[in-house]
Amino acid sequence: MAFSSTPVIPKSFKYDVFLSFSGEDVRSNFIDHLYHALKHKSIYTYKDTERIKKGKNITDELNGSIEDSKFYIIVFSKNYASSSWCLDELVKIMECHKTKEHTAFPVFYDVEPREVRKQKGKVKKAFASLKKEKAAGKWREAMKEAANEAGWELKNTVDGHEAKFIQKIVEEISLELRSINYIIDEKLVGMKTRIQDVVSSLGTGCNDVRIIGIKGIGGGGKTTLARAVFDQISFQFEGKSFVENVREVSNASSSGLNFLQNQIVSDVLNDKDISENNVFDGKAMMKRMMSSRKILVVLDDVDNIDQLEALAGEPNWFKPGSVIIITTRDEQVLVAYGVKLIRNVDMLSVEEATCLFSRYAFGKEIPIPGYEELSGKVVSYADGLPLTIRVLGSFLCGKDDSEWIDALDRLKTIPLTETLKQLELSYIGLEQDYKEIFLDVACILKGQRKDLVIEALESCGFHAKNGLRVLEQKSLITFYHHSDDGECVGMHDHLEEMGKNIVRRSHPDMPNKHSRLWIDAEIENILVNNMGTEATRCIQLYTWGLEPEIVMKGLRKMKELRFLDVSTGFLDEGTRISCFQWNWIFNTFSPYLPESLRYLRWNHYPFTSLPKTFEADNLVALSMSESGISQLLEGGERKVLKKLRFLDLNYSKLRTLNLGLIPNLEALILGGCGDLVKLNMPIECQKLKYLDLYRSKLTTLDLRLTPNLEWLDIGRCYHLVELHMPHGGLKLKYLNFTKSKLRTLDLRMALNLERLNLDECADLVELHMPSRCLHLKSIKLTMSKLRTLDIGVTPNLEYLNLENCYDFEELHMANECQKLTSLNISHSKLRSLDLRLTPNLEKLDLKECRNLVELHAPIGCLQKLVYLDLSGCLRFKSFLFRIEDDTSCSMDESLEVDPLAELHLISKSLERCPFHPDNNSPKFQFTCLYKEDRPLLTRNLEKLISIGLCACTNLEMFSESICGLQRLRKLILKSYPEVPKDLDHLECLEELVLSSTKGRHLPDSICMLKHLKSLELISCGRLEKLPKDLGQLECLQKLRLSSTKVKCLPDSICMLKQLKSLKIISCGRLQRLPKDLGELKCLEKLRLSSTRIKRLPDSICVLKQLKSLKIICCEHLDKLPEDLGQLECLQKLTLIDTKIKYFPDSICMLKHLESLELNPSSLREKLPVDIGQLNVIDANPNGNGVSM
């Protein structure tokens, strides 16, 4: 969002409206009604109540009132022109009107505009007695000017209905005032889009009652946003009320809600005398008095459903078209009240936060010089929270840098009190168990996978899923998607800070008495000095070099410890690389783990088993990945772990495991256990749902006793030769058999399957799928020996990969796959493919299908397809489009492409074309290279935005076809005799590549491509001249000339204000650059290679944005401009095979230079030692080194 550093602030006036009228005509009826209607709308209006004119001249006081009014409503009536007082008033009004700070609106009550303009009819009669006065000329001119202004005429407006006429005048004055008064505070950075989002959601003008909730963290800008929306739209309503601090006021006393009820009614009716004495009567009053008015009410900071029931009741309390806006920290309040429209208030971006902070700290949009880095640290600390940004900005305003540094250091250990006070309000209202969950997340679990957080919390006896949901609804945590870990639990930095502060503040100097420990140094000190206490419930320790026995000994006094998360290791002193030691033994000390432990995670656990002394009766989750565990219990002890539900020993030394000792296990993760040879399952594992045996050495696996298994991974189990699947397999959702040696697989009963991975199952010859698999989304079947595949009814299938199934011939689909977007059958024996059942396909890969002859597709297929690869399909002859009409009759139309060299539709994302009226078409890149002339069926390719064509000889036909692609954004032409002259028809074109064209000139029409961003002229060996008006390409950002005969660039090139990259390569006849090249203010990259240029223009030194300058094989260039050091942003400088022998002295001013590439042998002087931030010097191999 752009801001002006010196915003224009409109002049303020004492009065909104000044009424000018003839009292004898309209005072007691029209004017009184108009005045009260304006007053009811809170429009401050001046009305001369005396109106007894005892003299001929208006008073100085009245003159002042006219000057201090923004708008004038001049009510022309039959006797208005008979009053010199009224006419003098009118002269003054029109004088003020001409200043543009005031606006006059004429109202023609019982006269017509032409009568006032020309003083005819009733006005002529009224003015007769004054027409000989000296001031008559001024009065006539004033009436003429006023009558020419836009206003309202009663008889021609709302059928002459006076009440409706007054209402219309008031509404339009309200609108005018709103446009003046509604100015977003210059410190409300980033509000514009947020306001628009809320306003568009409200759909003001609709006939129902709209209720919207604004939810967010304390101090996050909810109230600010609601106030801004209120100010913008309030003029549209018959009554309005902004109720602040609902939570605080309603909780302050028993009459708090009743007080707020009275406030709303008084605001809406503009009557301070209305009130009721209790909430029950207040509800009745609101329902009775609100139902006839379209109103706007904001209820700010609501935290209880009772507040909404008392202040907003039911939608039928209000007239249709009313809007209720509710701000809260607790989403559940909105859900319980039935609010459908809920908007989260996002934190400020770094750019917005920097702007907001700068306004408070410096009174401008950006940090002042010297404070950029410090400001960045403050913004980073605030983490987008507006409250923190405002507080710190105001606090640091006017302070020197040493005070800033001190303040930032203090924040590392002492949180900002004002922020914590606001945030803690949400925490205080939580139930005790939810408070404990919040503190666990803040101190220990923030940033971890959601499923692991739930596992940890449930292990500790909490109702984790419900608790996390409550915290999310109260804006205390968030859930976000991580590219590697999936859904994770997040929390704003200040909420984390608040949680940790709550834990520490009871014993600030005694961490051993804290309930949760997370600071490594404090934990190590407690463990080493045996200072543990029963107060400690949770520990998270990630450390290097702390011996495991010290950890175990230090835990002895922590009898109530329920959560232990440890990761230990060592750094090799020689390599400084992390390493881990396993096979530690217990007989050197007495190992100990607290019996109270419910969750134990110890990554890189060095011992071969759990200690015998550990009574794990309470243990619910055990995770020891990458550990030395070879057997679960010491000495192979057969102890039943009844409460253990989650076991993760992935990449450990485990050899065998007896699941009979873990009867309630739900998840078993043994992936990467390369020594695992046996998994005993003597009893039915009713609760086992998740089983990961990836890369184990199991030879047999019997899963018949796991009826509820949902997730199974036996990928890369190279030794597995015998597999018994769960009976029925009805619950299975995910199967991974990557690189298994299975020959056949029967999944006909796996009706709930969602993902199937059989990658590189080279022995698989037979696969039976369910006839109906309604939840299946993904199938990977690469490198199998399957010949056919019947996927049955799979309406939710999105991804199907049969790549490198060299024997594959036929794909069967029983029903339409509406959601299938990616299909890969490359390197197969497929002969034909019918895409009628895949209407939404986006990616189709059929490369190297050498038996493929044709494709059949509905014409609509191209509307979604963004990638099509048919390379290597040597027999492919036709692409058959079916075009279905309304009567279901069809016709076939074939686009012949034989012999096809390459056909691609490629896109990284489904972007929209912003320059075309119809923005609903996906972004296509269509490259179609033909070996010989072929016609284009462009009406089937209307939505293409990129096309590349090679060697077209029928230029006339080509021009007509290609210029019909109105949405084209990229065009590649190769080996054409000349460039078509009518390319200016391609109004959306952004990229144009001309390669090996044979023309000497480019058509002038190219200069009319107003949206062109990139122009590349490659190997156009006959091209001698560029269009002289090339500078009209106002959006051009990239210009490349390669292997042309161009001798000079047109001077107009210096008008390309957006140009960022200019590359001139192997243009051996180019001798000079335009002298005003420095006008290219945005230029970042300049490359000159193999040209005859002798001098660089001096103006090049003012290219303040230039980052890279490369000059290669320009053998006539022997000198650099003296002021080269003024290129303050230059980072890379390349000078190879030139005659340059000296650097200008100013080169030492290149403070940001990082890379210098040159021929050192050509230099006759040493390079300066202190050139910028130089860290890379590349020398030509034929050189003799570089002296520094």
How remote is the C-alpha of 1136 from its chain's centroid?
44
Task: Please report the pLDDT score of residue 8 as a whole number.
Answer: 39
Q: Position 511: which residue type?
A: P
Cα 742 to Cα 693, 763, 789, distances in angstroms? 16, 6, 16
DSSP designation for 1038? E
How many Cα neighbours within 13 Å face the side chain of 627?
26
pLDDT for position 894: 33
Phi, psi angles (nearest 5°) of residue 933: -65, 125
Q: pLDDT tier at 100 (50, 70, 90 boundaries)?
A: confident
Q: Give tens-digit pLDDT for 958-976.
A: 666 666 666 778 887 877 7
636: helix, strand or coil = helix
* pLDDT for 89: 92
Contacts of 84 (CB under 8 A, 6+ apart): 56, 130, 133, 135, 139
Q: Is the pLDDT reported for residue 448 higher than 90? A: no
| pLDDT on residue 940 | 45
Q: Is the dihedral of CA 62, 64, 67, 71 positive or negative?
A: negative
pLDDT of residue 767: 95
Cβ distance 468 to 412 under 8 Å? Answer: no
Q: What percent of the chain has pLDDT over 90?
A: 51
Identify any residues that bridge with 779 across adjacent strands, giving them in sequence order.
Answer: 756, 800
Query: What confidence score (pLDDT) does residue 540 get?
Result: 94
Least confident of 322-326, 621-625, 980-984: 980-984
**What is the C-alpha separation between 595 and 1025, in angstroms, rounded?**
86
Task: For residue 896, indicate whether it is catalytic.
Answer: no
For strand 152-153 and strand 295-302, is the pairing parallel, antiparallel, or unpaired?
unpaired
Q: Angle 372-382/350-361 helices, nearest 10 degrees? A: 120
Helix (H) or strand (E) holding 439: helix 432-440
For the segment 1092-1102, the average pLDDT, to the nearest whole number, is: 93
CATH topology of domain 15-179: Rossmann fold (3.40.50)
Sign of the CA dihedral with 1156 first, then 1159, 1162, and 1166 last: positive
Measured CA to CA, the distance from residue 961 to residue 980 in angstroms comes to 11
- For residue 528, give both structure tokens: 């080493």
Among 89, 145, 626, 990, which one carries the catalytic annotation?
89
Report residue 800's pLDDT band, with 50, 70 and 90 as the boundaries.
very high
* Distance between CA atoms of residues 895 and 883, nearest Å: 13
- The amino acid that residue 679 corresponds to is L
Q: Answer with the residue of higher pLDDT: 886 or 331.
A: 331
Q: Considering the domain 907-1059 in this protein, what is its CATH number?
A: 3.80.10.10
Per domain, the residue ranges of the chain are 15-179, 182-344, 350-414, 419-505, 907-1059
- 105, 49 Cβ separation under 8 angstroms: no
Cβ neighbours of 483 (radius 10 Å): 5
d(CA 206, CA 453) in angstroms, rounded, equals: 44
pLDDT reported for residue 784: 96
Say what angle helices 432-440 and 464-473 make with each other, to 10 degrees.
90
Q: Mind listing the pLDDT tens digit for each residue in 271-311?
A: 888 888 899 999 999 999 988 889 999 999 999 999 999 99
Kindly report, residue by residue over 608-623, the tens digit of the pLDDT. 999 988 999 999 999 9
d(CA 454, CA 488): 11
**pLDDT at residue 631 tops 70:** yes
- What is the rounded distance in angstroms from the CA atom of residue 718 to the CA atom of residue 697? 7
Element (H, E) at 390: helix 386-396
What is the domain class of 419-505 according to CATH?
Answer: mainly alpha
Closest by Cα among 567, 481, 484 to 523: 567
57-71, 552-566, 866-880: range with lowest mean pLDDT: 866-880
Q: Which of 947, 953, 951 is nearest to 925 (CA)?
A: 947
Kindly state the tokens that stand for 177: 């005032």
Assess whether pLDDT exceeds 90 at residue 787: yes
Cα–Cα separations (whole angstroms), residue 507 to 501, 510, 699, 984: 10, 5, 56, 75
- 116, 161 in Cβ contact below 8 A? no
Phi first, then psi: give them for residue 235, nearest 5 degrees.
Answer: -65, -20
Q: Label residue 922 by pLDDT band (50, 70, 90).
A: very low
Highest-pLDDT range among 172-181, 908-917, 1034-1043: 1034-1043
Q: What is the pLDDT of residue 985?
A: 81
In this predicted structure, the answer to whether residue 653 has a pLDDT above a threshold of 60 is: yes
One of 3.30.2130.10, 3.40.50.300, 3.30.43.10, 3.40.50.720 is the CATH number of 182-344, namely 3.40.50.300
Calpha distance 755→776 (Å, rounded): 6
Distance separating alpha carbons of residues 312 and 637, to the nearest angstrom: 65
What's residue 1033's pLDDT? 94
| pLDDT for the residue numbered 874 | 74
Residue 905 has pLDDT above 60, yes or no: no
**Above 90 in pLDDT, residue 1026?**
yes
Which of residues 218 and 132 earns the better pLDDT score?
218
Using the CB atoms, write b or e for 439-451: b if 16+ within 10 Å.
bbbbbbbbebbbb
Kindly tell me if the per-residue pLDDT of 1131 is higher than 70: yes
* Overall residue count recorded for the chain in this entry: 1188
Topology agreement, domain 419-505 and domain 907-1059: no
More confident site: 72 or 415: 72
Lowest-pLDDT choice from 359-373, 520-534, 717-731, 846-860:
846-860
- Per DSSP, what are the bridge partners of residue 483? none
CA distances for 487 relative to 454, 483, 940, angstroms = 12, 9, 42
Q: Over the stretch 1111-1127, which tens digit does the pLDDT of each residue have? A: 999 999 988 999 998 99
Beta bridge partners of 891: 883
> Could you write out the three-class secondary structure of 983-1021?
HHHCCCCCEEEEECCCCCECCHHHHHCCCCCEEEEECCC
pLDDT in tens, 1157-1188: 887 556 656 566 556 555 445 544 444 333 33
- Position 934 confidence tier, pLDDT thresholds 50, 70, 90: very low
**Helix count (H) and strand count (E) of the chain?**
27, 54
User: What number is the average pLDDT over the span 592-596?
Assistant: 94
pLDDT tens profile 233-243: 887 888 899 99
**CB of 117 within 8 A of CB of 85?**
no
Residue 589: pLDDT over 70:
no
Q: How far apart are CA 653 and CA 676, in angstroms?
A: 8
Distance between CA atoms of residues 1143 and 1148, nearest Å? 10
Structure tokens at 634: 């010491």
Cα separation, 999 vs 983, in Å, equals 15
- Angle subtended at Cα 694 by Cα 689 and Cα 696, rounded to the nearest 5 degrees: 115
* Alpha carbons 969 and 921: distance in angstroms, whole number: 13
Give the tokens for residue 1134: 């390349």
pLDDT in tens, 712-746: 999 999 999 888 888 767 899 999 999 998 899 99
Q: How far apart are CA 811 and CA 855, in angstroms?
A: 13
Residues 6+ apart with CB under 8 A from 1089: 1063, 1064, 1065, 1066, 1110, 1111, 1112, 1113, 1114
Encode 257-318 in three state secondary structure. Answer: HHHHHHHHHHHHHCCCCCCCCCHHHHHHHHHHHHCCCCEEEEEEEECCHHHHHHHCCCHHHC
DSSP state of 562: -
Average pLDDT, the chain: 84
Tell me what the mean pLDDT of segment 121-138 comes to.
Answer: 86
| Start-to-end CA span in the chain (Å) | 47
Query: Token pair for residue 596?
Result: 């109270």
Residues 6+ apart with CB under 8 A from 636: none
Give residue 1174's pLDDT: 54
